[in-house]
Amino acid sequence: MLPAGHSLRPLTLADYATVHALWAATEGIGLNESDTPEAIALFLDRNPGLSLVALDSSGTIVGTVLCGHDGRRGYLHHLVVTPKARGRGLARAMVNQCLASLRALGIPKCNLYLYANNESGRAFWSHEGWAVRDDLLVMQRGACGC
């Protein structure tokens, strides 16, 4: 349930400068080559309508989340709500909308990545019912082999 005066809509590339600044200003969000305008455009094209922005009553972006899938699992990235707008249920509303959209596409599970030292993020996700999988190890390699 969204707080009064707030709304959600799909994130578009036109939102890039605003959401990138929000990501960059938020502790616990790591930005890299996957967060350039070109990379975000590819992500949004591959996952149409899944990523969201939260707007306040004046239409200002106060939250965002990237949502996508690989055909088997959903993934959430960069869930952020501005400090001033926190505690109103916006993050929960965005996550619930993402999960509903993934379910509608037949995607039964969703994963996310969280820095191990992101205590506030861990507290949020744990409170929302997400569990840490300690039987998995994340490994990564660049497509260029670097």
Which three-class secondary structure state does DSSP give residue 32? coil
* pLDDT for the residue numbered 54: 98
| Local structure of residue 13 (DSSP, 8 states) | G
pLDDT at residue number 143: 77
Domains and CATH numbers, the chain: 7-127 (3.40.630.30)
Q: How do 52-55 and 109-112 pair as beta strands?
A: unpaired
pLDDT value at position 61?
Answer: 98
3-class SS at 99?
helix
Q: Is the dihedral of CA 43, 45, 46, 50 positive or negative?
A: positive
Q: Say what the pLDDT of residue 34 is.
A: 95
Tokens of residue 70, six digits: 């690989």
Query: pLDDT 10s per residue in the chain (146 long)?
Result: 898 999 999 999 999 999 999 999 999 999 999 999 999 999 999 999 999 999 999 999 999 999 999 999 999 999 999 999 999 999 999 999 999 999 999 999 999 999 989 999 999 999 999 999 989 888 888 876 65
In this prediction, residue 33 carries a pLDDT of: 94
